[in-house]
Amino acid sequence: MKKITGKLALAAVFTVALSTTIFTVNSLARTIKGTTQTYAAATTTEATTEATTEPATEGTTFASSVSGSIRGVKNKNKNTVTTTETTTEAATESTTAFDKTKYEAGIEITTINTNTYSDNPVDKNGNPLTGNALEAYNVVKNTFKDKWKAITAPEIKEEVILNDADKTVKEKSFKFINNDVFSIKRYNFNSTQEERYSETINIPGSAFEMRYVSPETKDWYMSQNPVNTEKQTLFIDTDKASIIISIPSVYTNNKFQNNTQEYNPELEEPLSIEINEDDTISITYTFPHDTNYVGEIWYLLSTEHKLADWNNINHFNVLKQELADGRRFSWDGYYFRAPSNYIPYSETMLYRQPSNYAGASMTKYGDFLAAYDLGYVFTYTCMQNQNDLGYWATGPKSGWLSEDFNIGANFYDTRFNTDFAVNLINAYKRYNNDDFLMAVCRYAEYFIDHAENNHYDTKNGGWLVEDYGYDYEHNRTHVSLNHQLAELNVLYTLYQTTREEKYKTLADKMLLAVEDTKDQWVLASNNLNYALYYMAGTNTMVDYPYLTYNDLFETQSIYKTIYGKENDVIKYLMDCKMEWMIENEVTGYRTE
């Protein structure tokens, strides 16, 4: 977001991963091997590269690709081009009717709270709630639940399932009310052996169909031949079961600093699959049996329902998430490839992202079992990383934040956190689990404190809130328009959910700041200024091609819902940005 370093990693662009998760099938083609089919789909995200040089200049160029859907952003210090892939948001939650009876059969739907609230609440250690935690508790306690239906609360277990001289295996499992099971296992090896360790999962059925996204072409493939596996997340259906299973990941042992882990692709092998004569399918995975490495695998299994309908394009679209190459779901959250100026760093270093873009997309758009289950698991797992202050820290140290603002490891990125807050609100609405609402309200209380202590006043009393926070002494940071809009949008949305007035009050104050600085946001080219108050030096940062427009679109939509009219300043900024986008042949912006 800010400097094109860890900044393009650091936040805004990934919001698009939530809002533009829809793809269009362009072709069906046969591949040479087996009976594999390929499904070509148009991809959709704003620039998600994590460059490590200086910010791009305002003279950013946009070069059309052959298809016309790709734009390039030149970096001012290198003649390399960062590609961006664009498309228009088209998804709605009404795409596929979701039969909740698969989860809630026999459960009476009521409008009463499913949780019991106390006048003297305590935390998990039995200590009385105080401060922001108590504020959040009271908001959740008083939130009317009639608009949501039955609660989804899978049975969750975390345990060591094997511990001997050779290995220690721990498992975390989620068992849903319809008997779908998600399991993730982590293997620590206590001895080193030449032969790889292997383990097999058997699922019922004889008819076999397998799908995956090709790591080379990024297209969907289907095969009925079990030898056609790839080192990718596999979606397997038999006549009696469905399973989604990750690649067998191999991580470096004892190299986990600042919420990072290093994967070893050269040591990772694809799954091996066999169709047995006893109407079962065997899925075998292996890891190096070596004390230097940790093995990990996860799967979602259903023996009573199909996890996805492969005749429905929305199911392909929602499940086309990056879960194998540069991003992975792991034991304690969602990991991204680390920018090269992050510390620690290696070419295969992953860092735990504060947000949860794969799970967020599933939670928002996935009205079918695979997305319903995985959306819950991913969001719940990432939610557990909320710290005592109420936010989700970015663990590694960012070189540019350190240099410009004296901000070290475990910093607070307002955009990453706010994006996850949106995910939590959607999860609360979909699953009616108050834990999700409690987490987002705790975060909102932290953000209120951050805004009060880290803002710039505008002429009519508005607040421009700084983009970053840090628990120790540091320099003041700038305010980017996309961060400011995303923050006030989530406050308005949380107000609509809880009817807590203080959220709307702060959102109004932040919107007033945008109104007060209206003319400072528009450049001569009609593009928008990326940020104000960049104290570390000359502001050479460039606004994203369409991300900020989509944030403005969301602000206008929410504002009209609350106030019954459009906001004139937001319309002005949208019109300016639209003129610039049309002039530069940018697509991908929201239209509905």
Write out pLDDT tens, residues 394-449.
Answer: 999 999 999 999 999 999 999 999 999 999 999 998 988 899 999 999 999 999 99
Distance, C-alpha 2 to centroid of its chain = 19
Contact indicator for 393, 452 with CB cutoff of 8 Å: no
Q: What is the DSSP letter of 56?
A: P
Tokens matching residue 571: 């319309």
Residue 282 has pLDDT above 50, yes or no: yes
Counting residues of the chain whose pLDDT is more than 70, the rounded percentage is 79
pLDDT, mean of residues 91-116: 41
Per the model's pLDDT, the better-predicted residue between 366 and 272 turns out to be 272
Tell me what pLDDT residue 14 has. Answer: 38
pLDDT, residue 194, reads 96
Q: What pLDDT sits at residue 65? A: 27
Sheet holding 272-275, edge to edge: 197-204, 280-287, 272-275
Residue 571, C-beta contacts closer than 8 angstroms, at least 6 positions apart:
556
Q: Which of 140-149, 489-498, 559-568 has the lowest mean pLDDT?
A: 140-149
Note the pLDDT of residue 103: 46
pLDDT at 109 over 50: no
Q: What are the beta bridge partners of residue 82?
A: 73
Mean of pLDDT values over 547-563: 98
Question: Which pLDDT does position 141 carry in this prediction?
Answer: 85
* Stretch 374-380: mean pLDDT: 97
The two beta strands, 260-262 and 249-252, are unpaired
Q: Evaluate if residue 222 carries a pLDDT over 50.
A: yes
Beta bridge partners, 486, equal none
Average pLDDT over residues 210-230: 94
Helix (H) or strand (E) holding 183: strand 181-189
47: pLDDT strictly greater than 80: no
H-type alpha helices, 35-165: 101-104, 131-141
pLDDT top residue among 521 and 540: 521
pLDDT of the residue at 125: 86
Residue 333 pLDDT > 70, yes or no?
A: yes
Mean pLDDT of the residues in the chain: 83
- CA distance linking residue 265 with residue 288, whole number of Å: 12
The SS3 assignment for 528 reads strand
Does residue 246 contact residue 269 with C-beta atoms inside 8 Å?
no
pLDDT of residue 74: 27
Cis omega (within 30 of 0) for bond into 344: yes
Total-model pTM: 0.83
Average pLDDT, stretch 83-94?
A: 31
- pLDDT for position 290: 98
User: What pLDDT, on the 0 to 100 scale, is given for residue 60?
Assistant: 29
